[in-house]
Structure 1
């Protein structure tokens, strides 16, 4: 929607309005806990979305997207990323949930195995 210039006494209007969506992965904010000290996301995984299930690579101690078929340690779900992070150009420190009530359909990489491994998380 654009407002004509004349409506603001000759000054430019606010122009076109855009909306942003902030996907919410928490089903409730009543119970939640984050990983103490945060996590170090390994570089080279591109942009990781809020709600990505993370696993920890045993050899490096860095976190990558969880996948049950991996064999490097990241086949075990450890936590859930709480904000979008770009790992394209290097390792990134981030915060992640280890407990909470989550909307499983809003998570990236969630499967039944992750649901079992994330023992302090409840999924709806």
Structure 2
């Protein structure tokens, strides 16, 4: 770097970039889950586009949302919605918003499978 480029002042410093991932293929026909969801703590960072299921089994985590897993047996094996922002659940439960309807780019979703597509009745995948 040439110091004279900035009239003796320090340069711009470290440049950070952020990748913007759009999971919606179209902004038509989208709808979010009214009231949002409560994500269960301890899942780390859940990325935008993660398919979400809800725990329906009795216990302390009943009605909390987790990443959809087809092999689960606590209710979260049924896809409920698709997360619309990155959420860090590492330290605590966190409220989030999620889509229940829309046109999505399937390759940009996390956890999507045939059973999830069937459960997400108002979602279309391209």
Is the partner of 2:95 in helix, strand or coil? strand
**What TM-score, normalized to structure 2?**
0.91
SS state of the match for residue 29, structure 1?
A: strand
Look up the SS of the partner of 1:100 in the other structure: strand
Length, aligned pairs only: 122
Unaligned stretches of 5+ in structure 1?
none
How far residue 31 of structure 1 moved from its aligned partner, in angstroms, is: 2.2
- The aligned residue for residue 19 of structure 2 is 21
What is the match of residue 41 of structure 1? Answer: 39
Q: Secondary structure at the match of 1:83?
A: coil
Moved over 2 A (4+): 15-19
> Could you tell me how far apart the structure 2 residues matched to 1:84 and 1:6 are?
41
Q: Paired residue for 2:89?
A: 87
TM-score (norm 1): 0.92
